[in-house]
Chain A
Amino acid sequence: MTAIAQTESGVPSSTDARPILDCRGLEKSYGDRRAVAGVGFEIAAGETYGLLGPNGAGKTTTISMVCGLLSRDAGEVVVNGKPLTPSSTDAKTAIGYVPQDLAIYPDLTAKENLTFFGRLYGMARVDIRQRSKEILEITGLADRADERTDEFSGGMKRRLNIGIALLHRPSLLVLDEPTVGVDPQSRNAILGNVEALSGAGMAVLYTTHYMEEAERLCDRVGIIDEGEIKAEGTRRELVAILGEHDHVSLDATGDLTGAARALASLETIAEATHRESGIDLILANASRHLPQILETVAQADAEVTSVNVVEPDLEAVFLKLTGKALRD
């Protein structure tokens, strides 16, 4: 972790005494592969915490341990002051979990799906009926409540998938990349819902590999890669990691791999990585080094078609911290 992150962590950003979620030292290996290597964070009521990292970073594995559906090799999870153990029901009841993949029964109706999970969470029948109605309203599924979910569109399934997690009024909502493969309209609706829930005081743990989502939703973000949180803080704190550095985005054609490698070897450039149609650079005093950059690219058999100096963002922070692009 960076110095900034270290000074911030351990100090809950809200003034509430106890965080809703407190997890620390989480570790999980699959065989020889360390999927999560010592992850920890806290989330307070009303706070949205984002885990931002590329595919394979360890987000789902972390979340699975937080929600108690995967046994952990090491570490602790405390929800609402109650430790989460394999047999604990109190801690689990306080969590609403939205799996990355859809988790609804296709041959049951929306209402039946809600009722089943409501009963598993020990809700009374009257309460289930009442609360299902609310959830179906919120998710915009009220007029399709009695239809089998295999007749739903992708977006509707996604919304029900989230609705089921909210049914039992959890104090912590955990969402694992809920917008992957969702049309823009449903995506907006989902982000809006999360904002509203957080506004109503719910603690939210949100994983994503979309920088924009993390920036829009999250009060604090943990940047995760290779099973470790590389830095943590508010957007401003994280961007400060870049210091005097600029994020330069080149659109280019030709041998981008070679060009990026050549650029990375330059002393003036902190990080260089290529994407499909260009190269991203992190460096100080970008404007002064521009001629050198263009020359290096040209020598590497590539051609720059445009140069953008991007306002510092989490993507640049990720690049600076890991030397990798968040997305390829």
Chain B
Amino acid sequence: MKNAFIIASKDLMRSVRDRSAIVTAIVAPFALAFILSTVLGGEDGSSLNVTFATVDQDGGPVSTVLIDEILPSLEQEGAELVDAGSVEGARRMAEDGDIAAAFVLPEGLSEAVQSNEPAEITVIADPEAEIGGQIARGVAEGFAAELNAARLSIGTVIASGAADPSEIQGLQQEASDVPMPTRLVKSSAGGRQFDSNTFFAAGIAVFFLFFTVQLGAVSLLQERKEGTLARLLAAPVSRATIVSAKAIYSFVLGALSMTILIVASTFLMGAQWGDPLGVAVVVLSAVFAAMGLQSLVATLASTDEQAAGYGAIVGVTLGLLGGTFFPIAQGPGLISRLSFVSPHRWIMRSLGELSGGAGTLADVLPSVAVLLLFGAITGAVALYRSRSLVAAS
């Protein structure tokens, strides 16, 4: 066992020197989480940090409800509301990037709605502010649904000069295909509530964890390529010791990277991870599950580059499926059910339950059990397969 630690600490020393491991484990995930939360979240964790404008040509009860009762709730989220005065003014502001989007309430809107005549609320969106435009459209659609006005449609105009109508339609289509992190995150079920900063920090930490824990298996293949594995095998060190050393190395890197990301996101991004004991247990079982899976994947490869490639494919696929970037796990039934094959889903689920202090260790134990089982099974198969890897040097 002492030899396993000697080998593992050598590997840690090499990865500190090499820097690429540090980038994978800490720098890249933190940078990405920070950027996403700044762009999508804002400073204090829930603020929208965008400006919306209104153009009220209606002046009737319908526009009053929207402007006085619905939109102020956006203000509470941190958005700013301004009156654009005219459609022209709104368009200019959107083009200049002064606002993310403007709500245009046309003349006669209230009358049309009351007499169930066709009418349209137009959203003029800044082409650069994709998320802001999405939010505005979402609000308008929600409003229309609430009014129960079947004939009230929502038009979106992208403020980019004289765009031709078909192009606008295409953009509109595209835009509506983009999931809306903020809204979806907030609509997550039951007690599993992530605020957006915690969600981004958790999702990205978990996503990168599956890259970090590969490094042990990759370094074993690398030692084989560099010829040093032959020397390790000739030394008074058993094969099991060498494999254990790589496992220790992966585990330490994985746990360290998660810990650093959790601490850093707490202090720098205002993420709220919740019950420390629960988070610690989830993190350790997450590292374990990720290690088992990625070691197994590495045993399918014959070179270190190949292992890293396979690991990346698995990490990205299961990461997306498991909802580390977008909570697609809460999407349509099939995908949602399918997402449970991904360990990411179980990790995100338990972190979601804990975040903001809602849940405790007891709440996440079932998910933790799934993760441990997952890690044990994949890890056992990986160990079995690694016998030939170490022997055929």
B226 x A108 contact (CB < 8 A): no
Tell me which residues across on chain A come within 8 A of B27, comparing CB atoms: none
B6 x A120 contact (CB < 8 A): yes
Judge if B230 is at the interface, Cβ distance under 8 Å.
yes
Tell me which residues across on chain B come within 8 A of A64, comparing CB atoms: 230
Tell me which residues across on chain B come within 8 A of A67, comparing CB atoms: 233-234
Q: Name which residue of chain B comes closest to A95, CB basis.
A: B234
Tell me which residues across on chain A come within 8 A of B238, comparing CB atoms: 86-87
Select one of B3, B226, B233 contacting A69, CB under 8 A: B233
Q: Name which residue of chain A comes closest to B6, CB basis.
A: A119
A127 to B269, CA, bound (A): 50
Tell me which residues across on chain A come within 8 A of B228, comparing CB atoms: 103-105
Q: A105-B14, A105-B226, A120-B7 are in contact. Are A70 and B231 (CB under 8 A)?
A: no
A99 to B226, CA, bound (A): 11
B207-226 vs A, CB cutoff 8 Å, 1 = contact: the mask equals 00000000000000000001
Tell me which residues across on chain A come within 8 A of B3, comparing CB atoms: 120
Number of interface residues of A (CB under 8 A): 32
B231 x A164 contact (CB < 8 A): yes
**Closest CB-CB distance, B215 to chain A, in whole Å?**
14
Judge if B264 is at the interface, Cβ distance under 8 Å.
no
B11-28 vs A, CB cutoff 8 Å, 1 = contact: the mask equals 001100110000000000
A97 x B231 contact (CB < 8 A): yes
A112 to B12, CA, bound (A): 13
Judge if A211 is at the interface, Cβ distance under 8 Å.
no
Tell me which residues across on chain A come within 8 A of B59, comparing CB atoms: none
Number of interface residues of B (CB under 8 A): 23
A99 x B236 contact (CB < 8 A): no
A74-125 contacts to B, CB under 8 A, are: 86-90, 92-93, 95, 97, 99, 101-108, 112, 116-117, 119-122
**Closest CB-CB distance, A31 to chain B, in whole Å?**
11
Tell me which residues across on chain A come within 8 A of B7, comparing CB atoms: 120
B227-272 contacts to A, CB under 8 A, are: 227-228, 230-239
Q: A107-B18, A108-B14, A120-B7 are in contact. Are A102 and B235 (CB under 8 A)?
A: no
Judge if B163 is at the interface, Cβ distance under 8 Å.
no
B227 x A116 contact (CB < 8 A): no
Judge if A54 is at the interface, Cβ distance under 8 Å.
no
**Closest CB-CB distance, B243 to chain A, in whole Å?**
14
A106 x B226 contact (CB < 8 A): yes
Judge if B10 is at the interface, Cβ distance under 8 Å.
yes
Tell me which residues across on chain A come within 8 A of B236, comparing CB atoms: 88-90, 92-93, 120-122
Closest 8 CB pairs of A and B: A89-B236, A69-B233, A103-B227, A97-B234, A101-B227, A103-B231, A92-B236, A67-B234
Q: Which residues of A contact B (CB under 8 A)?
A: 64, 67-71, 86-90, 92-93, 95, 97, 99, 101-108, 112, 116-117, 119-122, 164
12 contacts between A and B (CB under 8 A): A67-B233, A69-B233, A86-B239, A87-B238, A92-B236, A93-B236, A97-B230, A101-B227, A102-B226, A105-B228, A116-B10, A120-B232
